[in-house]
Amino acid sequence: MHVCSAEFLQSANRPDSYPPADWPEIAFAGRSNVGKSSLINSLLGRRKLVRTSRTPGRTQLLNFFLVNRAFCLVDLPGYGFARVPAAVRRQWGPMVRIYLETRPTLRGVVWLLDCRRVPNEEDLQLLDWLEELQVPTIPVITKIDKVKRSQRVRQLKPILAATGLPADAFSVFSALSGEGRQEVWERIEEALGL
């Protein structure tokens, strides 16, 4: 994918503040600190278009980006962020669930897991929703540079066991080396129908 333009459209917390449903859309979801902003910035070739978790304000909303004036990428709020007040945390479920249920242009969700963490209840809840709502899902394991190549199979076993997904369902990605970037783009293009 050649990214000619990438612009922030708007933040939203409910359907009446989403941008118009004019472009096919891919959303990104995962626990806070999983490397979601780093993945999106790497895909777009922009270092700081998407803010990282150190600026939690905007990360508690859905953030819409228009790419090549052709499709949208949506950064969904990360879950499990310890410094976010309980009241804000409680809004996460409905905010994301309503988006997944109602967005007519949604073509797929990139679902991120950290290679060093066993998926927890919140991760698996999201996977359940994606399966229930039949949203095409692109599972990506992040920060793969943190694991030696010889240790990968062993490291990923608990993730496969917890999710029940086969190894080939996952792409692995490193924002440091760029490994997996091309593969993730290919899967996104396929989901977008490009």
Contact with ligand GDP (CB under 6 A) among 77, 78, 108, 119: 78
Residue 36: CB minimum distance to ligand GDP, A: 3
Report whether 102 contacts 27 (CB < 8 A). no
Q: Rule CB under 6 A: is residue 53 a binding residue for ligand GDP?
A: yes
Q: Rule CB under 6 A: is residue 138 a binding residue for ligand GDP?
A: no
Q: Where are the beta strands (DSSP E) in the chain?
A: 6-12, 25-30, 62-67, 71-75, 106-114, 137-142, 171-172
Q: Which residues pair with 31 in a beta bridge?
A: 79
Q: Which is nearer to ligand GDP, 36 or 107 (CB)?
A: 36
Considering only residues 168 through 187, tell me which ones interact with ligand GDP, judged by CB under 6 A.
174-176
Contact with ligand GDP (CB under 6 A) among 142, 156, 159, 187: 142
Considering only residues 7 through 36, tell me which ones interact with ligand GDP, judged by CB under 6 A.
30, 32-36
Q: Which is nearer to ligand GDP, 66 or 172 (CB)?
A: 172
Rounded to whole angstroms, how far apart are CA atoms 25 and 107? 6
Report which DSSP code applies to 150: G
**Beta-strand pair 71-75/62-67:** antiparallel
Give Cα separations from 190 to 24, 105, 174 (angstroms).
12, 15, 21
Q: Rule CB under 6 A: is residue 139 a binding residue for ligand GDP?
A: no
Q: Rule CB under 6 A: is residue 46 a binding residue for ligand GDP?
A: no
Which residues of the chain form contacts with ligand GDP (CB under 6 A)? 30, 32-38, 52-53, 78, 142-143, 145-146, 174-176
